[in-house]
A = this chain, B = another copy of it.
Amino acid sequence: MTFTSSPASSAADSALQAEVQQFYAWQMHLLDSGEADAWAETFTEDGVFAANAHPEPARGRETIRTAAAKAAAQRAEEGVQVRHWLGMLDVRPQEDGSVVALSYALIVNTPLGGSPQVHLSTTCRDVLVRGEAGGWLVSDRQVKRDDLA
């Protein structure tokens, strides 16, 4: 990430900061609850999920849904509760109405009967767009694990 402009400070920007946090809370709750269908609906139909841990981005809502359902099934089998913590959110409204959202994310895993482990530390760069219902959708997500070069 590079950062060149000063932080947003208008009332509209403050409202946006809070609104995007609300969106992420809801989205991560869906993911960690294994609700792969509802999770996939938080991406645009042609949404892209790229990660430096994966050779190729996941492209399109159906691919994202399938990947989430598979991961949820695996975690359930392993008896691990995953929590995605997203924070240190920097929201940047764009001229076309979209928002670039830069954040940190921690993945905290808790095995049944065990202690929580901070599994991964990452950054997340999202492009968010308004969906038809008025809420935000992710059109592009880029996740970078801090442990990978």
Contact = CB atoms under 8 A, between A and B. Distances in A.
Contacts of A30: 3
Given A6-B135, A29-B1, A121-B83, A146 B110 contact: yes
A117 interface: yes
A114 B147 CA distance: 6
Interface string A92-136: 000000000011101010111111111111000000000001111
A147 B88 contact: no
The number of times this chain is found in the oligomer is 3
Contact of A146 (B11, B14, B83, B120): B83
Interface in A72-102: 81, 83-91, 102
Contact of A3 (B17, B26, B84, B106): B26
B110 A116 contact: no
Contacts of A33: 1-3
Interface in A1-22: 1-4, 6-9, 11, 13-19, 21-22
A50 interface: no
A118 B111 contact: no
B90 A22 contact: yes
Contact of A118 (B13, B15, B116): B116
Given A17-B22, A84-B88, 4 more contacts: A83-B146, A85-B106, A115-B147, A118-B118
